[in-house]
């Protein structure tokens, strides 16, 4: 008999159903009596952080909801910028941070202590035992790999050297949109943006893009990995019930996806090594990250061992993280511009004035587009790609703002809540790029009210790569086309569905469908 696969929402729903909760309460009543005295004392402890009331066994797990960044913000308004949650049967509680002030304290005084990662089931399976930069344990090996990524792959000089890739893929996107415009057609802009982002990332990371059926398979693989990295696994919160993940088929799904990913990278490495043998080094110019890593591995210039699995783990970070973050930002950005025609018009006028009558947007043009950069900043503030940052874990106990935080406490920083905090932002629930026109606030990780890419040791090393891609694609979409809602849409721009789907990257629930109108210069 085939076993039923349960989704995150189904598992949460089953665990939090009235019948199940009643049963769990009866089972746990002895434990309640056992720890009653201890709990009573903890309530009078002045160093005990506030915590929402919790249920037996599941703790506060039911309060995360389907959009945890929003649910946790609502809880923080009642219980404070620092609050403790008990998520399932985990031994230590989870700290949720929802203020720029606390984030600054962590960064300036305790960054190293808050730089570990909890070792959850999905990342361990999908990321070669968490041997990557995004989810790896903090330590000397991790520091060497992060330094490698920053110095060799993702520095600004390297990012700019891949402009020809962005240019090629955006030209292809513009041609498809121009054809749709000539045929008076509407397009699924979300899908086209995802495809363009995936092609850019594949070329830069793996040395080539995938077309036809292969493109769909590779794109779907990247999306699956991103979804699974944030997927709910029972064993992460109820260690004694990890067998449920096996019976439900979740572990099998993770392992099958890993085998697909591993097979893809083995094929890529084999192809790139074979290609290099056929060409002289000076001819091998269009190198991807994989080529650089293989060259460093072969030359033994790193001072530490870089295995093929290490290379594949790093490629997973680039391949998976680079696609969804850029495409989601562009998708939210175009949606907001459609909902705010005045802002759209102002951005288009600037882009067209700077570019003039040239045949394409050039990379040097972007630096002259001050308002476009404000628009991108506001997109990142209003719709951070990872609104609930990947969890951290404390390396040792620490005193934070007068509270004792024990070792191995899992920590969530709610950047979405921080970036919509009225203490830091005027009219935070309004999309207003003008707020950045005369402001020095930036997303480099030093302005703690604005941290879409994280901060400190765990800040995103691919920030420059992502922002450069978003700016160039957005400028091109605004330069070449005006945009209208589909013919069948009778509502106005404000009625565009802005519903979210939660994951490591939060995406639009409904794709953005628009009609491109080629602009006549």
Alpha helices in 183-307 (DSSP H): 189-206, 213-229, 234-237, 243-247, 250-278, 289-299
Cα–Cα distances in Å, from 419 out to 41, 102, 103, 295, 449? 36, 13, 12, 41, 6
Stretch (H or E) spanning 102: helix 100-110
Please give the torsion angle defined by the CA atoms of residues 232, 114, 428 and 492, in that order, rounded to the nearest 10 degrees: -30
What is 127-158 written as a DSSP string? TTTT-SSSSPPSSHHHHHHHHHIIIIISSHHH
Angle between helices 250-278 and 308-339 (to 10 degrees): 110
| Residue 268 CA from chain centroid, whole number | 24
Terminal alpha carbon distance of the chain: 64
Beta strands at 94-97 and 410-413: parallel, antiparallel or unpaired: parallel
Q: Rounded to an integer, what distance in angstroms lies between the CA atom of residue 389 and that of residue 117?
A: 11
What would the two tokens of residue 233 be? 């696994």
DSSP label at 53?
A: -
**Was 149 annotated as part of a binding site?**
no
Assigned token pair, 300: 């033994």
Residues 258, 350: Cα–Cα separation, whole Å: 45
Query: Contact, 112 vs 70, CB < 8 A?
Result: no
Q: Phi/psi zone of residue 207: left (φ > 0), alpha (ψ -120 to 50 degrees), beta? A: left
C-alpha angle with apex 90: 231 to 237, nearest 5 degrees?
25
Token pair 């005295």 in the structure block, residue: 37
Helix (H) or strand (E) holding 398: strand 398-400
454 burial (CB, 10 Å; 0-12 / 13-18 / 19+) is buried
Residue 410 · residue 90 · CB < 8 Å: yes
Binding-site residue numbers are 460
Binding-site residue numbers for heme are 460
């Amino acid at each position: 008999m085939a076993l039923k696969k349960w989704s995150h929402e189904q598992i949460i729903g089953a665990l939090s159903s009235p019948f199940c909760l009643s049963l769990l309460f009866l089972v746990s009543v002895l434990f309640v009596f056992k720890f009653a005295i201890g709990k009573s004392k903890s309530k009078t402890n002045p160093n005990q952080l506030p915590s929402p009331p919790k249920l037996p066994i599941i703790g506060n797990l039911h309060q995360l909801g389907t959009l945890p960044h929003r649910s946790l913000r609502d809880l923080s308004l009642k219980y404070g910028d620092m609050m403790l949650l008990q998520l399932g049967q985990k031994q230590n509680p989870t700290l949720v941070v929802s203020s720029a002030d606390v984030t600054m304290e962590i960064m300036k005084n305790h960054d190293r202590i808050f730089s570990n990662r909890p070792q959850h089931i999905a990342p361990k399976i999908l990321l070669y035992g968490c041997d990557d930069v995004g989810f790896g344990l903090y330590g000397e090996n991790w520091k060497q790999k992060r330094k490698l990524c920053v110095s060799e792959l993702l520095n600004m000089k390297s990012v700019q050297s891949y402009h020809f890739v962005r240019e090629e893929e955006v030209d292809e996107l513009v041609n498809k949109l121009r054809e749709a415009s000539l045929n008076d057609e509407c397009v699924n802009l979300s899908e086209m943006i995802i495809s363009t982002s995936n092609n850019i990332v594949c070329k830069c990371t793996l040395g080539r893009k995938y077309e036809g059926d292969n493109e769909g398979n590779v794109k779907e693989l990247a999306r699956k990995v991103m979804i699974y990295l944030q997927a709910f696994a029972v064993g992460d919160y109820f260690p004694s019930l990890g067998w449920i993940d096996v019976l439900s088929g979740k572990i099998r799904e993770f392992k099958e996806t890993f085998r697909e990913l591993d097979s893809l990278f083995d094929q890529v490495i084999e192809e790139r090594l074979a290609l290099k043998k056929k060409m002289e080094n000076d001819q091998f110019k269009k190198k991807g990250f994989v080529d650089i890593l293989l060259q460093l591995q072969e030359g033994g210039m790193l001072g530490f061992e870089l295995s093929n699995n290490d290379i594949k783990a790093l490629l997973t970070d680039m391949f998976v993280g680079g696609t969804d973050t850029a495409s989601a930002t562009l998708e939210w950005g175009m949606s907001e511009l459609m909902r705010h025609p005045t802002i759209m018009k102002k951005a288009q006028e600037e882009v067209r004035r700077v570019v003039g009558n040239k045949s394409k947007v050039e990379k040097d043009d972007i630096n002259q587009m001050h308002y476009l950069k404000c628009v991108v900043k506001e997109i990142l503030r209003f719709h951070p790609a990872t609104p609930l940052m990947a969890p951290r874990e404390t390396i040792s106990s620490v005193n934070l703002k007068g509270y004792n935080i024990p070792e191995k406490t899992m920590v969530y920083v709610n950047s979405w809540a921080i970036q919509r905090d009225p203490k830091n932002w005027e009219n935070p629930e309004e999309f207003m790029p003008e707020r950045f026109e005369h402001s020095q606030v930036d997303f480099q990780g030093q302005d703690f009210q604005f941290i879409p890419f994280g901060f400190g040791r765990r800040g995103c090393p691919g920030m420059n790569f992502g922002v450069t891609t978003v700016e160039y694609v957005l400028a091109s979409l605004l330069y070449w086309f005006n945009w209208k809602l589909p013919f069948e849409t009778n509502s106005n721009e404000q009625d565009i569905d802005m519903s979210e789907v939660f994951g490591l990257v939060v995406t639009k629930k409904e794709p953005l469908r628009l009609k491109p109108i080629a602009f006549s210069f």
